[in-house]
Amino acid sequence: MKLAKTMEKAGVGAVLIMEKNTPLGIMTDRDFAIKIAAHAYPIQTKVRQVMSSPLIHIGPDDEAWVAADLMYSRKVRKLPVIDGDQLLGIVTATDIVKLVYCL
């Protein structure tokens, strides 16, 4: 998949899938490992077929514990931060761990 190469080149573990500047879903390195490799999807599989959607996200004013709780309860490690339809960033489980250990 072209997306896997793009992620590798950029050194990222996740890419938000957008349509007309609106976030639709997320494709993570784990999605590749579980949904594509483990289930032997063909290389031509469209991202839309395997991305995680609907998008689980938080808002810019949510507290870190809300993000941590959502990650735990929904079993995700990356949460986009969205304000309206605008992507502001992504909070990862690693970000939360760093925050806790730096307090």
**Rounded-to-integer distance, Cα 68 and Cα 61, Å:** 14
Q: Determine the residue type at 28.
A: T
Tell me the per-residue pLDDT of 5-49, one tens digit each, with 9 for 90 and over: 888 899 998 999 988 888 889 998 888 888 877 777 877 888 888
- This prediction's pTM: 0.80
Tell me the per-residue pLDDT of 25-34, one tens digit each, with 9 for 90 and over: 999 888 888 8
Same-domain check for residues 43 and 30 = yes
Same-domain check for residues 8 and 31 = yes
Number of domains in the chain: 2
Tell me the per-residue pLDDT of 45-62, one tens digit each, with 9 for 90 and over: 888 888 989 999 999 999
The DSSP string of 85-97 is TEEEEEEEHHHHH
**Rounded-to-integer distance, Cα 37 and Cα 32, Å:** 6
Same-domain check for residues 30 and 13 = yes
Question: Which tokens sit at 64?
Answer: 């870190």
**Residue range of the domain that includes 78:** 56-103
Q: At 35, which CATH number?
A: 3.10.580.10
Q: Determine the residue type at 4.
A: A
Tell me the per-residue pLDDT of 73-94, one tens digit each, with 9 for 90 and over: 999 999 999 998 888 999 999 9
Q: Which residues pair with 81 in a beta bridge?
A: 58, 89
